[in-house]
Amino acid sequence: MEEHFTTKEKLAKKYGFTQADFDQIEAHGIALDKVEGELLLFQSGIPKISLERPATIGDGIIKLSTEEFEEQARFFDDKKGSLKLKKFVPASGAASRMFKFLNEFLNEFDHENETINAYINRKKDKNLSIFLAGIEKFPFYDEIKAKIKSLHPEYYSLESHEKSYRFIKTMLAHEHFDFAGKPKGTLAFHKYETHIATPVEEHLNECAFYASSNSVSNLHFTVSENHESLFNSIIAQVKDKVEAKSGTKTEVSFSYQYKSTDTIAVDMQNQPFRNEKGELVFRPGGHGALINNLNALDADVIFIKNIDNVIQNHIKEITLYKKGLAGILLHLQEQVFKILSDIDQHSVTENDIETIVHFMQQKLNIDMLDDFHKYTLDNKIDFIKNKLNRPMRVCGMVKNEGEPGGGPFWVRGAKGNISLQIVESSQVDTHNPEQAAILAKATHFNPVDLVCATKNYKGEKFDLQQFVDPSTGFIVHKNNKGKDLKGYELPGLWNGAMAKWITVFVEVPLVTFNPVKTVNDLLKPAHQPQYEN
């Protein structure tokens, strides 16, 4: 007779978990079956995504004229009065990567025996060269220079390379500005005639432009708990000014990445990794964990944008395309809701099926089964309802200009179905020539420009956890105090975490994508003042 064990018994038997381990897991708020599932994933490995073909204009990506975007934006403006809008901005990451090359310079520069030029030549460090050439154009230049002068009264007698060295050191020193240790959203990004603006201020400003209805806008940041006060202090300084200028009241809320989304780490033999105290080690689950934060929001339309993708200029263009994407979402949602309501009222007949299927295939990119036409009417209706009663996202896609980031592809699932997905290159088996060739043919990439609808046709919130594809996470190799370990990162927020959503891709212009991945990106025109505007 087959024995049946509880999850707790299986974990104790297979991995040697003790009561102390179970207490630790419970204190973290993590379900035991989640721990068991992750441990099994390490053993089985995570299958690579199977790319079918890249999504292109006319085959998965919609291209609209400016006039069509304007029409969609007007539709959104007409409808938004009865809707609750929210903007969702993941903002918990520190700015360490922004200043990586400068930290490397401080660690590797032989201050006593070489000049900065000699270092640049020795390391072939183009980034440092660009940084120094544009140093006076950075929005934080004056503040840091003033600080150096107060620290070093002999500043004006210093040689040029010594001034540069002290500038970088003061900018990154923990006791002074500590830019690399702060959240990216709180740094000086843009210099205006009257003030210096952070991404937090720019997002408040954008929010008033396109995510407001009835003179109220709602902005939600996901932050690390220890940085919330820093965000609040910036908001307190600028909120009244933004509200007065826009005539819009802005409500700002925060959430943290839930500890319950942390994932268990294993050693190289796929056994639970333990620290020097013998305790299990859990790691943050990556930005895919934020699907829980998104799930907790109550809104009819949610705009998603990264913290570092802000702009100093062209706010009207940004607003047009954001509103246009929202208009497309609402248009499609109206049609979906009508079909689902008709199904509830038993008014869908065999004669309606062909029109509905055409809409699903052509407008929503939904793959229909080959033998669908053989189904009974009831089974056809059940299939349609299952496919349509889901959260929906309309995603802006930018022409591929060589920037890093995921891209839009048609992907074949484990059951043979094909769907539109945003795929990261790390999800693809690049050793497979066919898959590598498809990856290389991508014409667009994902700038994280999403407009989402997370309520059903009855006005009830979807449980977004039900639409995650758990097989699309990542196994990462890390180190814990000199010991190698493997960690599991959850399916990315706009990748596997939204894999089972209704997905529509729309081309948007490059002007909508202005990320600041390194500090030198602040020298690009989108982040430099144009006072005449």
106: exposed, middle or buried (Cβ count in 10 Å: 0-12, 13-18, 19+): middle
Q: What is the structure's pLDDT at 129?
A: 92
pLDDT(404) > 70: no
Which tokens go with 519? 């500090």
Q: What is the structure's pLDDT at 252?
A: 94
pLDDT band at 260 (very low <50, low <70, confident <90, very high): confident
- CA atoms of 91 and 493, how far apart (whole Å): 13
- CA atoms of 109 and 33, how far apart (whole Å): 50
Decide if 303 contacts 451 (C-beta within 8 A).
Answer: yes
Overall average pLDDT of the 421-430 stretch: 88
Percentage of the chain modeled with pLDDT above 70: 98
Decide if 295 contacts 464 (C-beta within 8 A).
Answer: yes
60-66 contacts, C-beta under 8 A, 24 or more apart: 60/365, 60/408, 60/410, 60/420, 60/505, 61/397, 61/408, 61/443, 61/444, 61/505, 61/506, 61/507, 62/328, 62/504, 62/505, 62/506, 62/507, 63/506, 63/507, 64/324, 64/506, 64/507, 66/320
Q: What is the structure's pLDDT at 499?
A: 93
Percentage of the chain modeled with pLDDT above 90: 52
* CATH number assigned to the domain with residue range 44-95+185-527, chosen from the 4 options 3.90.180.10, 3.90.245.10, 3.90.550.10, 3.10.580.10: 3.90.550.10
Q: What is the structure's pLDDT at 482?
A: 76
Cβ neighbours of residue 235 under 8 Å, at least 6 residues apart?
200, 204, 252
How many residues appear in the chain?
533
Which residue did the predictor score with more confidence, 288 or 253? 253
Residue pLDDT, tens place only, 429-438: 889 999 989 9
The chain-wide mean pLDDT, for the chain, equals: 89
Q: What is the structure's pLDDT at 52?
A: 94
DSSP string, 308-325: T---SS-HHHHHHHHHHH
Q: What is the structure's pLDDT at 64?
A: 96
Measured from the Cβ of residue 369, the count of other Cβ atoms closer than 10 Å reads: 11
Measured from the Cβ of residue 525, the count of other Cβ atoms closer than 10 Å reads: 12
pLDDT band at 532 (very low <50, low <70, confident <90, very high): very low
Q: What is the structure's pLDDT at 111?
A: 82
What is the identity of the amino acid at 166? Answer: R
Rama region for 327: left / alpha / beta (φ>0; ψ in -120 to 50; rest): alpha
Overall average pLDDT of the 506-512 stretch: 92
Per-domain residue ranges for the chain? 44-95+185-527, 97-181
What's 184-225 look like in SS3? HHHCCCEECCCCEECHHHHHHHHHHHHCEECCEEEEEEECCH
Overall average pLDDT of the 114-129 stretch: 88
Which tokens go with 401? 């200009």
pLDDT band at 41 (very low <50, low <70, confident <90, very high): confident
Q: What is the structure's pLDDT at 369?
A: 80
Residue pLDDT, tens place only, 451-490: 999 999 999 999 999 999 988 888 888 877 778 888 888 8
Decide if 485 contacts 267 (C-beta within 8 A).
Answer: yes
Overall average pLDDT of the 501-520 stretch: 93
